Amino acid sequence: MFSPDLISEARIGCGLGIMSKKRLLETLAELLASDHPRLHTEVVFERLLERERLGSTGLGHGIALPHARVKEVTNVLGAFVQLTCGVDYDAADGEPVDLAFALLVPEAANEEHLRLLAHLASLFSDPSIRTGLREADSAAAILRLLNT
Q: What is d(CA 134, CA 84) in angstroms, rounded to the nearest whole number?
A: 8
Close Cβ partners of 29 (under 8 Å, ≥ 6 residues apart):
41, 42, 44, 45, 48, 102
* Residue positions annotated with a catalytic role: 67
CA 119 to chain centre: 13
Whether residue 120 contacts residue 66, with contact meaning beta carbons closer than 8 Å, is answered with no
Alpha helices, DSSP H only, in the chain?
21-34, 41-54, 110-124, 127-135, 139-146
* Nearest Cα residue to 130 out of 84, 92, 99: 99
